[in-house]
Structure 1
């Protein structure tokens, strides 16, 4: 039985993992912080970790990307996209009485318009997870005017009333999750083959990134995502995350990576895995 570390309980990470894992034998290990998720897998206390990595409205979760680069060497074993429905939860009463709204920064960002128009008097308070926001509202039940944003499961878990549903700014809100760990998970379900790469240029000179991208173009390899993140070495020096619409074993890939390395670039394979849609 696989041990799966994730933010929880009562989070979208937990909700999406249960949906994704289906009948696979597993036991969930809830963690309060994303750092604890990574550390549990590295230490061998969990077999795999669930990492929210990108949102339709808010884009990439930079902190989680940086963990994958700088702090751990855990390959990506799978990814999936899960629809996210945000709810406002707390103690029953008029919305006008709410003075603080607690949730994860990404969740708060997904509900900016609701907060601006329906709760202009309330202060948005970032916390470590949506579940932590709900837990704090329950813990501080004696304080008036507190609410949280998160999943319906979180409201049920902490005995909170749902004050408003579907408060996300866009109906197609979804989050991309990664499953990371040293060993793959066997899943009897279809998916699209992808490879995630981390490319570091040898120096910042005109046309350096263009040369790398030209290699993929010549090999007719489709890139589905590219994003830069600082290397933390000096200002203006970056890694490039590149998601490729191809398995690592496909005939053009080894030749392309070899050519990129011949340009003086460093290439690190973050994972070659199946991607699953909603």
Structure 2
């Protein structure tokens, strides 16, 4: 019996940076790939089983978190991040053949792309109106619509212009930050966690249980006291009422690490509605610095020491530090 092919969805249409991120996944080039017009639709396809996983953008080095993804993954039926991918970002300005930069009065692209090219646009096409697009590729392909289009040019990835003969490139490398990188995550339904690699990341959503002085500090202390570094923390409104927020957090380490498991348990005690979104290998393969007293061995030794106390056995103590004995 032939194997059922893996089905992926991604923020489309074809030619987006999101598809480029998906193609970094082993086997994705030969899998079924279904474009989705927005992040919510992509994640819903995973939830209803019509796709095995979805690749969506979650963070940009210039603009920070992608709010549509942060909000969509924090609510609804639970999902898991199982992989991340990093894609260097560059942009081109495209239009129909015959259009010149001087003719442009309006430009369409995705909001994050516009934010990364705004200064270039203001300097080279002052006064041009921004028309939001569902994606950079969708904005570019919209220029080819025979029914007419309500903007003059689009900002997109170079590959879109290369693959569409009906588009002409008016300007290249128009990003305000030439080193821009976008981080994407592959999201699936809950299952067995990816094996820890030693260079991992854990993502959680923590609602603020009570709006009072020190409430956020209690959340952060669960990581700090266990030697867990945070690589990203962002607040997002829950939508329930004004002033009610949750925190989206990326922490260095895997749920199988003793320090991370202890931190997650602490978070759940403080905020029982904490949502675990996954532990997965870092795309940059950078291992965290782990202090000796927060290593797995240190946690195991500490638990064994406490168990010895509870069992009534004699428990030995490590000799005092040299400085203490000679003081």
Query: Are the structure 2 counterparts of residues 112 and 250 from structure 1 closer, same or farther at C-alpha, using a change threshold of 3 Å?
Result: same
Alignment partner, residue 161 of structure 1? 168
How many residues were matched structurally? 276
Q: Could you tell me whether the CA contact under 8 Å between 2:53 and 2:189 is conserved in 1?
A: yes
Consecutive unaligned residues in structure 1, runs of 5 or more: none
Alignment partner, residue 130 of structure 1? 136
Consecutive unaligned residues in structure 2, runs of 5 or more: 286-327
The answer as to 2:193 corresponding to 1:208 is no
Query: Are the structure 2 counterparts of residues 191 and 163 from structure 1 closer, same or farther at C-alpha, using a change threshold of 3 Å?
Result: farther
Higher relative contact order (CA 8 A, sep 6+): 1
Alignment partner, residue 17 of structure 1? 22
The answer as to 2:268 corresponding to 1:261 is yes
Q: CA offset at residue 101 of structure 1?
A: 0.9
The answer as to 2:48 corresponding to 1:48 is no
1-structure distance, mates of 2:253, 2:216: 20
Q: CA offset at residue 257 of structure 1?
A: 2.2
For the residue of structure 1 that corresponds to 2:62, the secondary structure is: coil
Structure number with larger C-alpha Rg: 2
Which of 142, 147, 152 does residue 146 from structure 1 map onto?
152
Q: Could you tell me whether the CA contact under 8 Å between 1:87 and 1:165 is conserved in 2?
A: yes
**CA-based RMSD:** 2.5
2-structure distance, mates of 1:144, 1:62: 26
Alignment partner, residue 86 of structure 2? 81
Deviations 1:13-70 (A, max 9, x none): 112221x124454221112222221122112111110111111111111111111012
Q: Could you tell me whether the CA contact under 8 Å between 1:202 and 1:264 is conserved in 2?
A: yes
Deviations 1:184-235 (A, max 9, x none): 79999x7831100111232111111112212211111111111111122221
What TM-score do you get using the length of structure 2 for normalisation? 0.78
The answer as to 2:31 corresponding to 1:26 is yes
Q: How does 1:87-106 map to 2 (within 5 A)?
A: 87-92=92-97, 93-106=99-112
Q: Could you tell me whether the CA contact under 8 Å between 1:98 and 1:121 is conserved in 2?
A: no
Q: Could you tell me whether the CA contact under 8 Å between 2:193 and 2:278 is conserved in 1?
A: no
